[in-house]
Amino acid sequence: MKLLVCIKQVPDLESRFKPDATGTWFSETDLAFRMNEYDEYAVEQAVRLREQLGDSCELTVLSIGPDRVVEAIKKALAMGCDNAAHIQDNAASSKDPWQIAATIAAYAKDKGFDIIFTGMQSQDRGSAQVGVTVAELLGIACTTTIVGFACDSGTITAKRELEGGIKGVVKLKTPALVTCQLGLNVPRYPTLPNIMKAKKKEIIAIPVGDLLKEEALAITASFHPPAKKGGGIVLEGDVADLVEKVIAILKDKTAVLR
């Protein structure tokens, strides 16, 4: 059985986001990067299946982006993926979900993957379109936001998280693609021997130009923080001063004391 897991490296959400020079995406200065949370669930589930199936199975991890994404790839390899494809694209952030999906589909189309795992969405762009579009382009079955997964002789049983706290159970014949949601599993922490082994695993680098032939369908016009509408003030200091400050604010901003 051949498995593929697609991951994205995203900025840590605690980072300080600022628009970049073009004003269409965020600047990468002062950002810390990590593997997209939902993709960690995807990797964990793929690795569990890989372990369940044993050596008859091969698990590939794929990521698109500049050289920094190799860090995320290494983590996936340390968690238990067998090999990796790094689709090199220094301008990955300017690609729309259609182009990303088309790139992945172009890579996967003649490889015969039985199951493809992706995250439910990315933490930065959050389109939630890439997984389903890949499945569509490859013409394989697909289910999204899974929180439970089992695979037995070519049939996947997946539990999906639906709206309003409702769960649904679906069965799919392989080949299929699933997108993974929080609650599916608890991703493992790579052990040191596996980190060491991962250093020797193969990472194939493919220039994005070899795979991507599609134009963008959606263009990002502007990336900017929303205008400030309101906010909180935390007052600190001596109680007497605090009283003064509160009264001043009440006078200034409200009609209570007028």
Residues engaged in binding other proteins (CB under 8 A)? 12, 14-16, 30, 32-34, 186, 188-193, 195-196
Which tokens go with 52?
């369940």
Nearest distance in Å: CB 184, other proteins = 16
- What is the rounded distance in angstroms from the CA atom of residue 160 to the CA atom of residue 131? 15
Q: Dump strand ranges (E) for 114-202.
A: 115-119, 141-152, 155-161, 167-173, 176-180
Residue type at 29?
A: T
Name the residue nearer to other proteins (CB basis): 175 or 187. Answer: 187
* Integer angstrom CA distances of residue 21 from 2, 18, 123, 142: 42, 10, 22, 38
Name the residue nearer to other proteins (CB basis): 131 or 187. Answer: 187
Name the residue nearer to other proteins (CB basis): 14 or 152. Answer: 14
Nearest distance in Å: CB 196, other proteins = 6
Name the residue nearer to other proteins (CB basis): 136 or 183. Answer: 183
- What is the rounded distance in angstroms from the CA atom of residue 32 to the CA atom of residue 141? 35
* Residue 28 DSSP label: -
The end-to-end CA distance of the chain, in Å, is 75
Nearest distance in Å: CB 244, other proteins = 23
Nearest distance in Å: CB 188, other proteins = 5
Nearest distance in Å: CB 164, other proteins = 27
Name the residue nearer to other proteins (CB basis): 1 or 182. Answer: 182
Which tokens go with 101?
């999906």
Q: What pairing do the DSSP bridges indicate for beta strands 141-152 and 115-119?
A: unpaired
Nearest distance in Å: CB 149, other proteins = 21
Residue type at 252?
A: D
Q: Which of 162, 66, 178, 164 is nearest to 120 (CA)?
A: 178
Residue type at 233?
A: I
Name the residue nearer to other proteins (CB basis): 78 or 106. Answer: 78
Nearest distance in Å: CB 37, other proteins = 10
